[in-house]
Amino acid sequence: MYAICKTRGGIVMNIYIHYDQYSSLSELIRKLSAKGIKVTSGREKPENPVDYYIHWTLSPEAREVKALQRSYNSQSNRLGPENYQEIEAILHQNHLRAFLGGQGTAWPITIWPKEYLIYLWDSKVVATERKIVLTSQIKDIKNRGSQQNFQWLNNLTEWEKDRLIPTAMRALHCLGLDFGKVQIGINRSNGPVILGIDPAPSLPKKLAHAYADIIVKSIKKGEEKKSITIGSDPEFMLSLQPGHRMVPASRFFPRQGLIGCDNRRAFGASDDLPLAEVRPEPADSVNEAMEKIRKALREATRLCPYANIAWMAGSEPYPGYPTGGHIHFGGIEPNNLILRALDQYLAFPLLFLENREKAKQRRQFYGTIGDFRVKAHGFEYRTPGSWLTTPELTRVALTLAYLTVKNYPMLKRWDFADLSFQEAFYSSELEKLVPAFQSTLAELYQVDRTEDTRVLINMIWLMYQEGMGNNEKIDLRKSWNLPIGVQRYRHVAKPRHSFSWLPGSAIR
């Protein structure tokens, strides 16, 4: 047992580290203690209450330990080699390529041109190491059985930041892990492939110091009390009536501004941007957020006043064009506890208020659990589809989001640890999920026992029973009671790029 104590503001903070081998974590414990944190550790569960419990081991027996503030890596207990097939299934379910060995997917590569080791803590990057094998070296490695060493990376390329880091974070999140090491292989034709996940990595001195710094920083951030703002950028599409023909949003709306266009282009060689995006200013309350969305929609009616162009939201108004209902939070940094709470108490209830077939189609490409991006103001949660269809659904989505982030330390349920639950979620098999849906709503009320929350939960259940989310062909101008002009729009399709080997025949 190892313990050093410091008092901050009259409160002694306790961190307990449950380990398999003390030698693999001795430097981390020493460094944390040098920073003035009280650290105890051992191979058994703690005898006394602790503030923070870190499960740095593969053994599952101490996972029932309750930490007063937070426990780490206490969600999953199936990461041994005997479970590789199930782990791969979970990763594939979340659009991640994986080859963990054993009885898993047979991947026809034994040596990867590039490999990375990405160390994470609570949705933050601790360190990254890279190994590059040149084509001329592969034969020697095969013959001699030698391996290149991983090199510490101080700076990542934009591609590495955009592709590898989110892949590693999503891998840990969908397995219920708060920290760990993710090994990723890169092949030109296949992109990132997950080769290994270690929830209890050994820490040499340099890595232990990096972990100690980020652990202390994240705990301090978690203790800070700041006011939370809520924002959003829900998307919708334009439909020429009658005929339901798609009209690109870029015909009417600018790229930037209160009403703009998402950067996704239309299929084919076209400059058209089909998705409109509502970008209200951040708000301090749900009521204020609703008013700012309504104001933005009124501006959209000024730019697109045509009576014969309907505005449609939902999961996928047109095949191949999924729409999102991303929600932004200011004044708070993302962590795994917040993301799991948003999965369970926001994205999961909204599933019951969506068109199940459209939601299923969208989640083939977008809407995986724990999908987020760090922003200057905080972060953006990207899992839900567009809830802009009606003001009632919009209020439900924003209220669930605000309640969840405000109360996330007390919202511990996360049913997504079960593979069958994830499969039912992505397949929109609502009948299998109704009991968990009811329990989730009940737990939300237990955390926030107010009349407003009771009314919200009753509204969600009523909307589900009446199938209010099934119709995604609603013209949201009518549901929002927005002014609709009398003039009619005459759509003229832009010719797409056409190329020929004959000189001078390229047209647009």
- Calpha distance 359→378 (Å, rounded): 27
Same structural domain, 345 and 435: yes
Q: Is residue 416 part of a domain?
A: yes
Same structural domain, 95 and 61: no
SS3 assignment, position 51: strand
CA nearest 246: which of 267, 227, 277, 215?
267
Same structural domain, 104 and 156: yes
Residue 117 Cα distances to 26, 129, 153, angstroms:
21, 5, 10
Backbone region of residue 327 per phi and psi (left: phi > 0; alpha: psi in -120 to 50; beta: other values): beta
Q: Is residue 492 part of a domain?
A: no
DSSP output for 414-458: -GGGSHHHHHHHHHT-HHHHHHHHHHHHHHHHHHS-SHHHHHHHH
- Calpha distance 216→37 (Å, rounded): 8
pTM: 0.90
Q: Is the previous residue joined to 503 through a cis bond, with omega within 30 degrees of 0?
A: no
Same structural domain, 92 and 53: no
- Calpha distance 260→203 (Å, rounded): 47
Q: Are 193 and 98 in contact (CB under 8 A)?
A: yes
CA nearest 371: which of 426, 428, 441?
426
Q: Is residue 1 part of a domain?
A: no
Q: Are 327 and 230 in contact (CB under 8 A)?
A: yes
Domain limits for position 354: 229-479
- Calpha distance 167→157 (Å, rounded): 15
Q: Is residue 505 part of a domain?
A: no
Same structural domain, 127 and 237: no
Output the domain CATH number for residue 194.
Answer: 3.30.470.20
Q: Are 310 and 238 in contact (CB under 8 A)?
A: yes
Q: Are 9 and 47 in contact (CB under 8 A)?
A: no
Q: Which helix (H) or strand (E) holds 118?
A: strand 114-121
Same structural domain, 260 and 194: no
CA atoms within 13 A on the CB side of 222: 21
Q: Are 290 and 388 in contact (CB under 8 A)?
A: no
Residue 457 Cα distances to 28, 187, 347, 396, angstroms:
45, 48, 15, 9
Please give the pLDDT value at position 107.
Answer: 53
Same structural domain, 136 and 14: no
With b for 16 or more beta-carbon neighbours within 10 A and e for fewer, the 167-205 pattern comes to bbbbbbbbbbbbbbbbbbbbeeeeebbbbbbebbbbbee
Q: 243 Cβ partners below 8 Å, 6+ apart?
A: none
Three-class SS string for 181-247? Answer: EEEEEEECCCEEEEEEEECCCCCCHHHHHHHHHHHHHHHHHHHCCCCCEEEECCEEEEEECCCCEEE
Angle (CA) 274 277 282, round 5°: 170
pLDDT (tens, 9 = 90+) of the chain, 508 residues, equals: 333 344 444 445 789 999 988 878 999 999 999 988 889 999 888 888 888 999 998 876 545 666 678 889 987 657 777 788 889 999 999 999 998 874 444 455 556 788 999 999 999 999 999 987 765 555 555 544 445 688 999 999 998 999 999 999 999 999 999 999 999 998 776 689 999 999 999 999 999 999 999 999 998 887 777 799 999 999 999 999 998 899 999 999 999 999 999 888 877 657 889 999 999 999 999 999 999 999 999 999 999 999 999 999 999 999 999 999 999 999 999 999 999 999 999 999 999 999 999 999 999 889 999 999 999 999 999 999 999 999 999 999 999 999 999 999 999 899 999 999 999 999 999 999 999 999 999 999 999 999 999 999 999 999 999 988 778 889 999 999 999 988 998 876 665 554 444 444 333 2
SS3 assignment, position 503: coil
Q: What share of the chain is helix, strand, coil (3-state, %, to 5)?
A: 35, 20, 40
Q: Which helix (H) or strand (E) holds 278?
A: strand 276-278
Same structural domain, 307 and 375: yes
**Pairing of β 276-278 and β 235-240:** antiparallel
Same structural domain, 60 and 104: no
Output the domain CATH number for residue 417.
Answer: 3.30.590.20
Q: Where are the beta strands (DSSP E) in 13-84?
A: 14-19, 38-42, 50-56, 67-72
If one counts the domains in the chain, the total is 3
**Residue type at position 65:** V
Please give the pLDDT value at position 100.
Answer: 85
Same structural domain, 27 and 119: no
Structure tokens that stand for 344 in this block: 């369970």
- Calpha distance 41→203 (Å, rounded): 15
Same structural domain, 260 and 174: no
Q: Give the DSSP letter of residue 250.
A: G
Same structural domain, 363 and 394: yes
Residue 159 Cα distances to 130, 167, 353, angstroms:
14, 12, 36
**Residue type at position 120:** L
